[in-house]
Structure 1
Amino acid sequence: MTASVILSPLVPWPVLWGLAAFAVVLLALAVWRGLSGWWLRGLTAVVVLAAIANPSLQEEERAPLSDILLVVVDESASQGLGDRAAQVEEAIAGLEAEVAGRANTELRIRRFADGAEDAGTLAMTALAELLSEEPRARVAGAVVITDGQVHDVALAPNMPAPLHVLLTGEAADWDRRLVVKNAPAFAILDEEVMLTLRIEDQGAAPGVQDVDLTITVDDGAPQTYRVPVGQDLDLPVVLPHGGMNVLQFATPAAEGELTDRNNAAVVQINGVRDRLRVLLVSGEPHAGERVWRNLLKSDASVDLVHFTILRPPEKQDGIPVTELSLIAFPTRELFIEKIEEFDLIIFDRYRMRGILPMSYLENVAQYVRDGGTVLVAAGPEFGAVDSLWRSPLADVLPVEPTARVVEGGFRPALTDLGRRHPVTEGLEALAPEEGWGRWFRQVDVVPRAGQVVMSGPGDRPLLVLNRVEEGRVAVLASDHMWLWGRGYEGGGPQLELLRRLAHWMLKEPELEEEALTAAAQGQALTITRRSIAEVPPGDVTITGPDGAAVVLPMPEVGPGRFALEWQAPMMGLYRLEQGDLTRVVAVGPSAPREFVETIATGDVLEAVVTPTNGGILRLEDGVPDLREVREGRPAAGRGWIGITPRGAYVTEDVRVAPVLPGWLWLLLVAGLAVAAWLVEGRRVGRKPSVAA
């Protein structure tokens, strides 16, 4: 039972304080005038003010409440390194034993794992949640068992009692990690891009100066270099192809380091072309020539060089050559010296008229074999005696003309192979309701190699694609594609077809006939396989960063397209294999956030612990004892941590009674007032003595 005095004034507090000030003034006046009963007057005023304050005696029946010790246990991935898990369980057992020996203390334990989406160790979030579930007045202390690598320190709650950190790990731990400090998301093909890498040793490292660094681009052959430790390494890289390029960097695991999960890094750089350099060679003038030129010139990313024959040699009209052009066209420079600089060469209804020497066309054929690309848009001249077929370029062309030209309206159609081929797959969905517009002329050709993806009247080959050694060739056996561009009878997907055709010829990965691709969204992996083979591809094998492999079937989702979605069990680098195709994809960072910093340290949490008078102790020195300390005193020392007794209670009963009854207050006031009157009256009745 506890008792206390409470005041319930009969008048507002400002009035009461005003009366007290007035009484003080009167008392001072009485003292100044020398009244003998001033002290009785003062007592009278005090009793009057006390009576107005209406004091009461409050008695409470209280039941004491026990103190609570909060314990937050870090069970993130980094806590599985070394013997940290055993240290955690030993610490919990020791705290449970300490608390069990105290009659007025309870224990609350909250365990937490890795944060979602690689958020890392969220120890302060777990502590705040646990603290919110308990009355703050009963919390006598908190303990966080962790390796100290906490990623939400800014969310630390305001603690009402000491906060302690028990560090797992060993002082002799060390780890090596590979850090990519600078890597762009995009890079221009054939231009050098600079990456900055760094290999760091943390903790009690052995002091190695140089280590091996292995670099792998996509799934190519790895290359190993000797690089220094602890220094920034500038690495120039030229991307080998357009689209996504996956660069893997790794250093071998060293004996004694905590983990090799952070010894590798993955950089994904999207290779883009600065500008597409196109050489358009126009032969016989026709209605579609301007369409080709306008189409290519309308794209700001295309650098177009247009070589056209305005007057064939057989046309002799007496006009000097110098009056037909401002400068001589640099044919030698284009077809001999700088041909390798072009990404695509288009022959639009070109016929052999002796303008381009055979050696130039032989050079074009070699340009294809070395990796170049050529598109032939053929007209009636393709089957004539001066056809490109009768030049050295015939060695790389996939078709042979029959000299027949089919006249009459027809609608181009996709072949069965064309419905699966990435260049033409899905184009039918872009047709208007009445279907594609008609064309009116096609050159009859016989395919010798390659893939027929579009056909004309009588299922004659219309668009044929072929690979020639390192290069690619496409033949369009009609000069009427321009009708689609003009919107005749609804037109057709001219722009989309030419865009895909150009990207296929430029070897863009997303338009390869046989391709295995993957995209990661969080930990969800979407795997896509494209194939033009008649037999569906088999299962895909997925090998995770821990070496575990899983084999999954890939259902067909469209003509020539197979896909599946799979939830990756962990962050890291995954290798996909299907037949002779392989693909590497990174799910999240190559090293999860938990493994970026692995050395146990109290530096991160020091700013949170110090204001609470708590301490940071290593569990390798043993589980500390639990002691009671007064509030505001240091709560940690060598081998011990402290909690502050809170003295919390719950009030079960309250009784309130006046200190004095009203009649007694009145009696006291009257008695003191009469006494003051009597004392002062006697003094007034006495005569002053006269000195002799």
Structure 2
Amino acid sequence: MTALRFDPMLPLWAIYALAALALLIAGFALWRGLQGWAWRGLAGLAAAAALAGPALEIGARAGLSDIVILLDDRSASQTLPGREAQTDAAIEALTRQISDLPNTELRRVTVGDDPDGSLIGTALTRAIAAEPDSRIAGVISVTDGQAHDPSMIPAGAPAPVHTLLTGNPEDWDRRLVIEEAPAFGLVGEEVRIRLRIEDQGAVPEAIVGQSTNLRISLDGGPEQVYAVPPGVSLELPVTPDHAGQNVIQLAFDAPGGDGAGELTDRNNASAVTITGVRDRLRVLLISGEPHAGERTWRNLLKSDAAVDLIHFTILRPPDKSDGVPVNQLSLIAFPTRELFLERIDDFDLIIFDRYRVRGILPPDYYRNVARYVREGGAVLVSAGPEMASVESLNLSPLGEILPARPTGRIIEQPFRPHLTEAGRRHPVTAGLPGAPAENGTRADSDWGRWLRMAEVVPDRGEVVMTGEEDQPLLIMDRVDEGRVAMLTSDQVWLWGRGFEGGGPQLELLRRIAHWSMKEPDLEEEALLADQLPGLGLRITRRTMAETAGPITLTSPDGSETSVDLTETGPGRWTADWQAPGPGLYRLTDGEITRVIVLGPSAPKEFEETVASEARLAPLSEATGGAVMHLSDGIPDLRAVRMGRPASGEGVTGSWIGVTPREAATVTGLSRRPILPGWAWLLLIAGLILTGWLTEGRRGSTR
């Protein structure tokens, strides 16, 4: 590398001024007709050039080696049958051929698994950007072409980019595609999932258009089977039946029964998780008479934004005769028929608060309430002294679903509520603030006392709280599909008033109400699975039994693993487990089954498995490279000049080319003046002397 540089002895403006003066003098001499005008001008310009200090800068160069980038795709889809062997053979042959090229270095880039799929575009962009453009002689990618970051694939490269595709021409696959699925749905309301079954690749003639059985199950329940043809989008109606996660498992039978040469069955199944939410919980509160605790229930339910409350208080029973004219009563007629016959199934919970049987409801209405509970409804009885009277609900047809019978005795004695062994396990009462420790007594409790309760004899259900003389205070029971809760005292309002320190009134009543309405977090028999960072799984079993487990886990490949649980609290058993890979896992302890999706149910790597050149071919075409299939053989590697074809067919088969770049780097610089100082002086003096002599001869001639 040689360049002209200047090292001026004077400021540039002075040198420019000297050159301009020389030109003016030469012009004046020309105007006067002096024959030496040109020599005078050249002498002035030579003086200006000498002061500018011109010199030659000479650089010493060293040649650089060429670089060939070799991309090795080792993502999960490359583990499909035959591809791994093709990749190993191609990488080994290309590595050997590149090492045989003179003055050439290899840069190997490996693309592994990523939650977002095969990031081939990102790997290519980074590899090309990491090397100088002047040294890159070629880029070779050994891959199945399934790049999941197409926007990151570069538009061009400084050298040919070749794509060598793994796989075979006869490869084909059938997959399940979820086109649209809602994330949330109202409990009991139908939502729709749009899906299709899609064929890819060289599908055998015997299977083209053949319908397959699509199997659908909700939360591991019974399967529903539909015959679905490939390539047709269909909408699947699904109804979330509970709040929280509803996992819909979708899978279809392998074509031909055994896959018939299908690349993989990892994309034959999928799972959709729909979070069930309740529109609004509808609660009917019937107060038998005004009392101090009535407002407690009303305030609790009105403060819950998810609850629609209808509240009636019986102020004027039919047996009351005080002579007041009807037209002077500002009361609303109690719509008994509409509430207890026509619209009863619209409610999620019916609360009888100190309700007395006074002839307002006919016996058939109570029987309809019992039917409503058996079919999935809920009733909560908050009893007072009327429980021990002849007007008790137990003496009505509703008594057949109540979990306890009154003895007729009212205990008028202050007492502190206490949790039973079952109460420490039941999620409604477990962990209530202020409760005594597991082996604690009533005296250890921080709760205030209640003043009275009704004595009852439990027939069924779980007694979770007791009062005076260890009599049942709170009983929880299930009746067929529904639930019944009974509180045998009307003194819970004392906690809300802070009597003797109060207690967790709102929390207790909220839990009772929401358990009655089947809140998933308050189920006493539940199998929970929560995903931990990575593919970890925390299994939690809530039960009223004294032991739990083990849990059987079924992996996506059908293998089963047994996991033992450890007790971490009353009625609570847990275990942590690390899953071997993403997918759909089924958990069961023989009684409860749960399904959970860890990562994608069908990994992104297996969404599309047939090798394709669609994403990488534009880059190869733009750079003069080639796209070849390794099933046709491993191409030879050649060195070709820039501008010449970089691929072709030879005598021994296909070949691909890299272009030597002959790049170099400057290792040193030297500067040499064009003329030494004495030479400049001789040049200037000679020009002046020549001009003088020229003008002198003219004078002598004259």
Equivalent residue number for residue 104 of structure 1: 103
Equivalent residue number for residue 414 of structure 2: 409
By how many angstroms is 1:356 displaced?
A: 1.0
Equivalent residue number for residue 636 of structure 2: 625
Separation of aligned partners in 2, 1:31 and 1:88? 83
Separation of aligned partners in 2, 1:340 and 1:515? 26
Q: Structure 2 vs 1, CA of residues 510 and 26 (structure 1 numbering), >3 Å: closer, same or farther? A: farther
Tell me if the contact between 1:430 and 1:492 (Cα under 8 Å) persists in the aligned partners: no
Tell me if the contact between 2:139 and 2:159 (Cα under 8 Å) persists in the aligned partners: yes
Separation of aligned partners in 1, 2:467 and 2:527? 31
1:190 alignment partner, one of 184, 188, 191: 188
State yes or no: 1:94 paired with 2:93.
Answer: yes
Superposition pairs of residues 211-360 of structure 1, within 5 angstroms: 211-254=212-255, 255-321=260-326, 323-324=328-329, 326-360=331-365
State yes or no: 1:661 paired with 2:676.
Answer: yes
By how many angstroms is 1:394 displaced?
A: 1.5
Equivalent residue number for residue 690 of structure 1: none
Superposition pairs of residues 513-528 of structure 1, within 5 angstroms: 513-521=524-532, 522-528=534-540
Separation of aligned partners in 2, 1:180 and 1:266? 9
State yes or no: 1:163 paired with 2:161.
Answer: yes
Count of equivalent residues: 682
Separation of aligned partners in 2, 1:28 and 1:171? 84
Separation of aligned partners in 2, 1:25 and 1:543? 101
Separation of aligned partners in 2, 1:505 and 1:270? 20
Q: Deviations over 1:142-184 (max 9, x none)?
A: 2222222223444457854443332222344332222222222
Unaligned runs of 5+ in 1: 688-692
Equivalent residue number for residue 578 of structure 2: 567
Q: Deviations over 1:399-435 (max 9, x none)?
A: 1111111112211111111111111111145899971
Separation of aligned partners in 1, 2:238 and 2:32? 103
Superposition pairs of residues 567-606 of structure 1, within 5 angstroms: 567-606=578-617
3-state SS of 1:95 partner: helix
By how many angstroms is 1:100 displaced?
A: 2.6
Separation of aligned partners in 1, 2:625 and 2:30? 57
Superposition pairs of residues 58-77 of structure 1, within 5 angstroms: 62-77=61-76
* Equivalent position amino acid for 1:285 in 2: P
Q: Structure 2 vs 1, CA of residues 71 and 529 (structure 1 numbering), >3 Å: closer, same or farther? A: same
Equivalent residue number for residue 362 of structure 1: 367
Superposition pairs of residues 642-661 of structure 1, within 5 angstroms: 642-649=657-664, 655-661=670-676
Equivalent residue number for residue 145 of structure 2: 148
Tell me if the contact between 2:71 and 2:142 (Cα under 8 Å) persists in the aligned partners: yes
Tell me if the contact between 1:575 and 1:585 (Cα under 8 Å) persists in the aligned partners: yes
Separation of aligned partners in 2, 1:684 and 1:211? 118
Separation of aligned partners in 2, 1:107 and 1:554? 53
Q: Structure 2 vs 1, CA of residues 181 and 171 (structure 1 numbering), >3 Å: closer, same or farther? A: same
Tell me if the contact between 2:434 and 2:503 (Cα under 8 Å) persists in the aligned partners: no
Equivalent residue number for residue 498 of structure 1: 509
* Equivalent position amino acid for 1:257 in 2: E
* Equivalent position amino acid for 2:217 in 1: T
Separation of aligned partners in 1, 2:21 and 2:77? 73
By how many angstroms is 1:48 displaced?
A: 4.8
By how many angstroms is 1:321 displaced?
A: 4.2
Separation of aligned partners in 2, 1:674 and 1:580? 120
Tell me if the contact between 2:434 and 2:445 (Cα under 8 Å) persists in the aligned partners: no
Q: Structure 2 vs 1, CA of residues 541 and 41 (structure 1 numbering), >3 Å: closer, same or farther? A: farther
Equivalent residue number for residue 674 of structure 1: 689
Q: Deviations over 1:490-522 (max 9, x none)?
A: 322222222222232222333222211112244
Q: Structure 2 vs 1, CA of residues 37 and 599 (structure 1 numbering), >3 Å: closer, same or farther? A: farther
3-state SS of 1:443 partner: strand
Q: Structure 2 vs 1, CA of residues 20 and 477 (structure 1 numbering), >3 Å: closer, same or farther? A: farther
Q: Structure 2 vs 1, CA of residues 40 and 484 (structure 1 numbering), >3 Å: closer, same or farther? A: same
Q: Deviations over 1:105-131 (max 9, x none)?
A: 12121223112xx12222344345555
By how many angstroms is 1:540 displaced?
A: 1.8
Separation of aligned partners in 1, 2:687 and 2:163? 65
By how many angstroms is 1:57 displaced?
A: 4.8
1:641 alignment partner, one of 651, 656, 666: 656
Q: Structure 2 vs 1, CA of residues 179 and 322 (structure 1 numbering), >3 Å: closer, same or farther? A: farther
3-state SS of 1:496 partner: helix
* Equivalent position amino acid for 1:166 in 2: L
Q: Structure 2 vs 1, CA of residues 371 and 144 (structure 1 numbering), >3 Å: closer, same or farther? A: same
3-state SS of 2:500 partner: helix
Separation of aligned partners in 1, 2:34 and 2:48? 22
Q: Structure 2 vs 1, CA of residues 15 and 498 (structure 1 numbering), >3 Å: closer, same or farther? A: farther
Tell me if the contact between 1:431 and 1:493 (Cα under 8 Å) persists in the aligned partners: no
Q: Structure 2 vs 1, CA of residues 476 and 57 (structure 1 numbering), >3 Å: closer, same or farther? A: same
Equivalent residue number for residue 509 of structure 1: 520
By how many angstroms is 1:262 displaced?
A: 1.8
Separation of aligned partners in 1, 2:22 and 2:618? 54
Separation of aligned partners in 2, 1:337 and 1:656? 106
* Equivalent position amino acid for 1:281 in 2: I
Separation of aligned partners in 2, 1:269 and 1:302? 22
Superposition pairs of residues 45-56 of structure 1, within 5 angstroms: 47-48=46-47, 51-56=50-55
Tell me if the contact between 1:372 and 1:472 (Cα under 8 Å) persists in the aligned partners: yes
Tell me if the contact between 2:135 and 2:663 (Cα under 8 Å) persists in the aligned partners: yes
Q: Is the deviation greater in 676-685 or in 325-334?
A: 676-685
Q: Structure 2 vs 1, CA of residues 23 and 466 (structure 1 numbering), >3 Å: closer, same or farther? A: farther
Q: Structure 2 vs 1, CA of residues 367 and 602 (structure 1 numbering), >3 Å: closer, same or farther? A: same
State yes or no: 1:390 paired with 2:389.
Answer: no
Separation of aligned partners in 2, 1:610 and 1:545? 41
Separation of aligned partners in 1, 2:661 and 2:431? 73
Q: Structure 2 vs 1, CA of residues 154 and 414 (structure 1 numbering), >3 Å: closer, same or farther? A: same
3-state SS of 2:489 partner: coil
By how many angstroms is 1:451 displaced?
A: 0.5
Q: Is the deviation greater in 357-366 or in 676-685?
A: 676-685
Q: Is the deviation greater in 384-393 or in 491-500?
A: 491-500
By how many angstroms is 1:223 displaced?
A: 0.8
Tell me if the contact between 2:416 and 2:449 (Cα under 8 Å) persists in the aligned partners: yes
2:123 alignment partner, one of 114, 123, 126: 126
By how many angstroms is 1:324 displaced?
A: 3.4
Separation of aligned partners in 2, 1:264 and 1:490? 57
By how many angstroms is 1:47 displaced?
A: 5.0
Tell me if the contact between 1:5 and 1:55 (Cα under 8 Å) persists in the aligned partners: no
Tell me if the contact between 1:613 and 1:633 (Cα under 8 Å) persists in the aligned partners: no
Q: TM-score, normalised by structure 1?
A: 0.90
Q: TM-score, normalised by structure 2?
A: 0.89
* Equivalent position amino acid for 1:335 in 2: F
3-state SS of 1:519 partner: strand
Tell me if the contact between 1:439 and 1:480 (Cα under 8 Å) persists in the aligned partners: yes
Tell me if the contact between 1:27 and 1:41 (Cα under 8 Å) persists in the aligned partners: yes
Q: Deviations over 1:515-569 (max 9, x none)?
A: 11112244232221111102x2122222221223322222222111122233322
Separation of aligned partners in 2, 1:18 and 1:213? 93
Q: Structure 2 vs 1, CA of residues 393 and 657 (structure 1 numbering), >3 Å: closer, same or farther? A: same
Tell me if the contact between 1:361 and 1:392 (Cα under 8 Å) persists in the aligned partners: yes
Tell me if the contact between 2:25 and 2:40 (Cα under 8 Å) persists in the aligned partners: no
Unaligned runs of 5+ in 2: 438-443
Separation of aligned partners in 2, 1:631 and 1:37? 56
Separation of aligned partners in 1, 2:70 and 2:14? 52
Q: Is the deviation greater in 170-179 or in 327-336?
A: 170-179
Tell me if the contact between 2:300 and 2:510 (Cα under 8 Å) persists in the aligned partners: no
Tell me if the contact between 1:7 and 1:53 (Cα under 8 Å) persists in the aligned partners: no
Q: Deviations over 1:26-62 (max 9, x none)?
A: 7788889887667756765675565445444555554
1:418 alignment partner, one of 407, 423, 431: 423
Q: Structure 2 vs 1, CA of residues 363 and 112 (structure 1 numbering), >3 Å: closer, same or farther? A: same
Q: Is the deviation greater in 24-33 or in 360-369?
A: 24-33
The percentage of counterpart residues that share the same residue type is 56
Separation of aligned partners in 1, 2:367 and 2:377? 13
By how many angstroms is 1:210 displaced?
A: 3.7
Separation of aligned partners in 1, 2:80 and 2:34? 88
Separation of aligned partners in 2, 1:25 and 1:517? 100
